[in-house]
Amino acid sequence: MSDSARVSLFFPIFAAILAVVPVASDDTVSSKSLASAYAASGDPRARETYERAIAESPRDLPLRVEFAEFLWRSGNVEPGNEQMEQVIRLAPDNPRLRAHYGVNLAGQKKYGKAVEELDAARRAGFDDPNVLLFLGSALWEIGRLDEAKERLKEAVAKAPDRVAARHRLGRLLLLQGNPTAAAAELARAAELDPVSPEIAIDVGRALEASGDPAGAERAYRRALAHDPEPPLAHYLLGTLLARTGRREEAGRHLALYRESFEREQQQQFRSRSRQAELNLGRARLSERRFGDALAQFDRLPDDPEALRGAAEALSALGRHGEAVARLSRALELDPGNAALRSELDAARERAAKK
């Protein structure tokens, strides 16, 4: 489980709040259905339609939660958070809402605020194992390690077969200098998920730290058997082999580690360069320097986001047919992008009216 990715808890959030929701008017239901349909298709009218539906029925909590989810998904993080803050003010005694918000805050790396919401849910009696897992992880991120350990232990006690909690607890125990306890916890996680290279690597680290190099070597080799790519496994096995005198094999693993590291650095450089190009193009759009924006986006001719930006610049310049061509190409590269499809339809309408 990635701690930085935004994820949702596995509990019926809408069922938990229906009891405090008044019956909506027919007009509100219509607006809500339309907003949901726009959101599902990536239509840019979704936001204003949600806002209209909420204005018609401001205490419709499922609608507000749905709107917050839409905002988060579309990259409007702060407006989504503001919407959830309003939901919680309307239902301050609903711990599931706080837990839901806390998980999303953790995904945004706002760990301090996530701890507040998740711990409030826990103290109100909502001690779902996922809440405890995310709370423990968020406490870890802000340096409250002893509290993090207690919450992760509680998560394991409530759901002994959940791999993520055991893995996370084992890593924390290793960080705190208790490799023997860490190895035991991680070994159990490995039993539950025997094909995970990440868990196998951590088992090896714990065994190595607790004075069992042979066990560590087996764990590192098991990780590479499941996935030959992880550079960390090559590095750890290579350094272990070097310390035990097997320098030829150690050299092979360390060479593979260096190659993987260099590839990763090149990929990161390309990603940063691409993002810089896109950011500059968007800045030119916001400055209404449409010709400069077009030239900037054209530096990335096979990138869907750059083609999208180029289409926006072309539309602003009145070159609607060319905008259609760019969006068509973007959709070829990213055929599952509903927002692109909606923008292409709108661009075709503009071109037809020209």
pLDDT at residue 28, as a whole number: 54
- Distance separating alpha carbons of residues 187 and 283, to the nearest angstrom: 51
Q: Where are the domains of the chain?
A: 229-287, 289-353
- Distance separating alpha carbons of residues 91 and 59, to the nearest angstrom: 10
Task: Look over the chain and give the mean of its residue pLDDT values, rounded to a whole number.
Answer: 88
The model scores a pTM over 0.75: no
Render pLDDT for 313-337 as a digit per residue (tens, 0 to 9). 999 999 999 999 999 999 999 998 8
- Distance separating alpha carbons of residues 165 and 152, to the nearest angstrom: 6
Number of H helices, E strands in the chain: 19, 0
- Distance separating alpha carbons of residues 314 and 306, to the nearest angstrom: 12
- Distance separating alpha carbons of residues 182 and 216, to the nearest angstrom: 13
pLDDT under 70 in the chain at which residues? 1-29, 354
Portion of the chain with pLDDT greater than 70, in percent: 91
Place of tokens 């951590």: 202
- Distance separating alpha carbons of residues 340 and 89, to the nearest angstrom: 36
Return phi, psi of residue 159, to 5°: -140, 80
Angle at which helices 213-226 and 231-243 cross, to 10°: 150
- Distance separating alpha carbons of residues 323 and 303, to the nearest angstrom: 15
Residues 6+ apart with CB under 8 A from 144: 115
- Distance separating alpha carbons of residues 311 and 294, to the nearest angstrom: 8
Nearest 5°: the CA angle 204, 243, 256 is 70
Render pLDDT for 172-184 as a digit per residue (tens, 0 to 9). 999 999 999 999 9
CATH of 289-353, one of 1.25.40.10, 3.40.50.300, 1.10.10.10, 3.65.10.10: 1.25.40.10
Would you say 18 and 62 are in contact if contact means Cβ atoms under 8 Å apart?
yes
| DSSP designation for 263 | H
Render pLDDT for 301-317 as a digit per residue (tens, 0 to 9). 999 999 999 999 999 99
